[in-house]
Amino acid sequence: MLKLLKNHNPLEGAVGENVVSAFSLKANGNMSLSYGDTSRALENRKSFLSSLGIDYKDLVCAKQVHGSHVQSVSEVDKGRGALTCAASIPDTDGLITGTKDLPLAIFTADCLSVFLYDPQRPAIGLIHAGWRSSEAGIVACAVKSMQDKFNTDPARLIVGFGPRIKDCCYEVARDFKGKFSLGLVERTGSLYLDLAQVNKEQLTGLGVKEKNIFDPDFCTFCSSEEFFSFRKEGKATGRMLSVIMLTE
């Protein structure tokens, strides 16, 4: 049951002890410094991340713009966006690193977070994949960046999906047929988008094995009591935090 989840790990059972990954729940509070009620955001981050053994002041955050830019980060980037939104890495929706003890962060409230783990290098990545970033192929950009930077073999890559608005609830305009060749579902005259399917197809097309893609299959709209949902709750809603970090 969702109510039993505290720090859910999208890669649980798929990786060893040298990587920490999790996404927060609504019960953990708003994690954003720019959306929703931000008055307790830093306190919420501190509480949630301390339970994972992560110092909230070390977070590396991106100023997400629904684009396809993926930034490689290192020790010099530790703490960027951890305490103020203005300090976040600008115009970026994906982060990758091979640096240990460097926690990567993405914030969502319907968009899909994608966790990437290369156990051989080791290296990690974290992606913010809304429909615009998905259309632009951001997961492909991230995998290719990891290939270039870390010599990552896509066949060894382990991928986890975070909660997102699913095709049961994500109604989109008819012109989305011109944006996506896959991931669209038509029901009773309306069109719905499956963000996970779009990104899964892009990943497997690059050589990621389907058996290495893990999806907890949570819909933020259906379960808005558990997750923040922009589509359901509007502009005043908060954001969940997705985080991943190499530990060894």
| Per-residue pLDDT reduced to its tens digit, 146-165 | 999 999 999 999 999 999 99
Residues of the chain with pLDDT under 70: 1-9, 11-16
Residue 62 and residue 95 in contact, taking contact as beta carbons nearer than 8 Å:
yes
The pLDDT of residue 12 is 60
The pLDDT of residue 14 is 58
Q: Enter the pTM of the model.
A: 0.94
Nearest to 133 by CA among 112, 110, 147: 112
Pick one of 3.40.50.720, 3.20.20.70, 3.60.140.10, 3.30.540.10 as the CATH number of 8-246: 3.60.140.10
CA 120 to chain centre: 22
How many helices and strands in the chain, by DSSP H and E?
A: 5, 13
Query: What radius of gyration, in Å, describes the C-alpha atoms of the chain?
Result: 17
CA pair distance 172, 108, nearest whole angstrom: 18
The pLDDT of residue 16 is 60
Q: Would you kindly state where each structural domain of the chain is located, as residue ranges?
A: 8-246
